[in-house]
Amino acid sequence: MTRKKLIAGNWKMNKTSADAVSLARDLVAAVGTAPEVEVVICPPFTALEAVAKVVDGSLIKLGAQNMHYEASGAFTGEVSAPMLRAIFTTHVILGHSERRTLFGETDELVNKKVLSALKNQLKPILCVGESLAEREAGSTLKVVQTQTERGLEGVSKEQASTLVVAYEPVWAIGTGKVATTEQAQEVHAFIRGLLTKHYGEAISQKVRILYGGSMKPANAPELLAQKDIDGGLIGGASLEARSFVELIKAAAAIA
Ligand code: PGA
């Protein structure tokens, strides 16, 4: 089974609305009609609506970087799934390691968000990954298993096929240190095995598992050629059209 490669840009807390529109325009011009690869860009909340207008009519999809699990209410500073849906957002990054480490998000909280996203027809990009200390202690697979299984608790078979999982070793994020292809493929295959255990082979073969952590045009071809690496969640290299377009082309070359 061949899964369509997915390249997602996580812009994090970068770009004003005007800067985001300008980058989105460049991306639409360069890859907005290329069908071989699925492309998702995740600007900050303040730029989502403006970017939605730019990508409208192109093949580029829109993602958010976080959300609250409730639909509405007294949650000052938060944004809900229905609010994101109303401005044409289709994907949402959940459980990013920066949310987990800097904002104290637990597996339980991430799970509530995953369930709420799915209920509202948003596709979660569930991030999992070990810290350097955890890798050195030999607990990488255990950490990834806990984050994946707890994050997906209560997700039905039917919902599972729309999921995206991103394996992002925390020590590789924004550090320039990329996991070796063997390290990445090992964990990706392990995650697919977990999905098979819970949802069966047919579903697990449909789920895209992205690699994230210092993915760049130079290291992408080798990573993307691995059997269970179905794309990338790109931070730094997604902030500039040239490098992000090169990554999309690298994925298209393998597709
Ligand atoms: P990076 O970030 O590509 O800058 O390492 C990836 C991510 O955090 O999603």
- The tens digit of pLDDT for each residue in 103-147 reads 999 999 999 999 999 999 999 999 999 999 999 999 999 999 999
DSSP the chain: --PPPEEEEE--S---HHHHHHHHHHHHHHHTT--SSEEEEE--HHHHHHHHHHHTTSSEEEEES--BSSSSSS-TT--BHHHHHHTT--EEEES-HHHHHHS---HHHHHHHHHHHHHTTPEEEEEE---HHHHHTT-HHHHHHHHHHHHTTT--HHHHTT-EEEE--GGGTTTS-PPPHHHHHHHHHHHHHHHHHHH-HHHHTTSEEEEESS--TTTHHHHHTSTT--EEEESGGGSSHHHHHHHHHHHHHH-
126 DSSP β-pair partners? 94, 165
- Residue 168 annotated among the catalytic residues of the structure: yes
Distance 74 CA to ligand 1 centre (A): 32
Tokens, residue 227: 């059997």
Distance 163 CA to ligand 1 centre (A): 19
Distance 132 CA to ligand 1 centre (A): 15
Q: Which listed residue (38, 96, 134, 188) is catalytic?
A: 96
- The tens digit of pLDDT for each residue in 52-62 reads 999 999 999 99
Q: Where are the domains of the chain?
A: 6-254
Residue 78: per-residue pLDDT: 98
- Residue 96 annotated among the catalytic residues of the structure: yes
Which protein residue's CA is at the shortest distance from atom 3 of ligand 1?
235
pTM: 0.97
The CATH number for 6-254, chosen from 3.20.20.70, 3.40.50.20, 3.40.50.880, 3.90.228.20, is: 3.20.20.70
Residue 178: per-residue pLDDT: 86
Residue 1: per-residue pLDDT: 60
Cβ of 215 closer than 6 Å to ligand 1, yes or no, is: yes
Give me the residues of the chain with pLDDT under 70, please.
1
